[in-house]
Amino acid sequence: MEKGNPYIPIPVKVERIRVESDDKTLRSFDLSFCNPKQRFDFLPGQFCQLSVLSKGEAPFGIASSPTEEKFLRFTVNRVGVVTTALHYLKEGEIIGLRGPLGNYYPVDKFKGKNVVIIGGGFAFTTLRSLAVYIFAHRNDFNEVSIIYGARRPGLLLYRDELAEWEKRDDVNLYLTVDREFPGWDKRVGFVPTVTKEVKPSPVDAYAVVCGPPIMIKWTTDNDKIYPPGSI
């Protein structure tokens, strides 16, 4: 595998587009390298810059796992110029990508430990990368818990995969939405509240939290979830 310059965009092909949310504001793009020699190593948590000619470039977390070698996945929330241009792409089109950039989750430190993954909204992208990576090396990790919430069921990403993960007996998966919805028979409540309810053990554990700042604030406020003296 070549070690390319992450500051030079390389061409990637849109192999598969998938609408993730019921309001169509979230789409996932599976990209392949036009030149397989330009494939690069990365770890869960890193991001890339995606560019569309004459529109610009923007950063997106890598939603696929390094263990999924056939494609790189990005899930894009449509908010402005670049994200709208990405949403208008068709399968087969070529865009620019540079990366991998940024820090990664220290997966080596997680080995032999319990791992708690806590996500809210579409920030779940790099947490999916982490979860799939952990599943691919499942024996390296101890107990794995995932708490993932969205405002409503139609905004939960990767719903088919979540349904598969629910069937696994080697992960504790807790899905939640902000309020009751017809047909929703799982948890209801904000992510910090559900974290407090299910109370994953902090003993010998690493927690990875990614979501809106307010969710992170109340989730990592340990005094609320684990009152002093309780652990």
Ligand X SMILES: Cc1cc2nc3c(=O)[nH]c(=O)nc-3n(C[C@H](O)[C@H](O)[C@H](O)COP(=O)(O)OP(=O)(O)OC[C@H]3O[C@@H](n4cnc5c(N)ncnc54)[C@H](O)[C@@H]3O)c2cc1C
Task: Give the H or E element holding residue 119.
Answer: strand 114-120
Shortest separation between residue 230's beta carbon and ligand X, angstroms: 35
Q: How far is CA 128 from the centre of its chain?
A: 4
Q: How many residues make up the chain in this entry?
A: 231
Strand 144-150 relative to strand 114-120, pairing: parallel
Task: Based on the shown chain and the rule CB under 6 A, indicate whether residue 125 belongs to the binding site for ligand X.
Answer: yes
- Cβ neighbors of 69 (< 8 A, separation 6 or more) are 39
Identity of the residue, 99 or 200, whose beta carbon is nearer to ligand X in the bound complex: 99
The residue number with the shortest CB distance to ligand X is 80
Shortest separation between residue 145's beta carbon and ligand X, angstroms: 23
Q: How many residues bind ligand X (CB under 6 A)?
A: 17
CA 7 vs CA 50, 60, 71, 74, 103: distances in Å: 12, 15, 20, 19, 16
Task: Based on the shown chain and the rule CB under 6 A, indicate whether residue 31 belongs to the binding site for ligand X.
Answer: no
Shortest separation between residue 193's beta carbon and ligand X, angstroms: 25
Shortest separation between residue 34's beta carbon and ligand X, angstroms: 22
Shortest separation between residue 157's beta carbon and ligand X, angstroms: 10
Please identify which residue in 58, 115, 118, 191 interacts with ligand X, judged by CB under 6 A: 58
Please identify which residue in 60, 124, 141, 165 interacts with ligand X, judged by CB under 6 A: 60
Residues 70 to 109 in contact with ligand X, rule: CB under 6 A? 75-77, 79-83, 102
Contact assessment for residue 11 and residue 34, using Cβ atoms and an 8 Å cutoff:
yes
Identity of the residue, 102 or 202, whose beta carbon is nearer to ligand X in the bound complex: 102
Beta strand segments in the chain, E = 10-19, 26-33, 47-52, 56-61, 72-77, 94-101, 114-120, 144-150, 172-177, 187-188, 205-210
Residues that bind ligand X (CB under 6 A): 47, 56, 58-61, 75-77, 79-83, 102, 122, 125
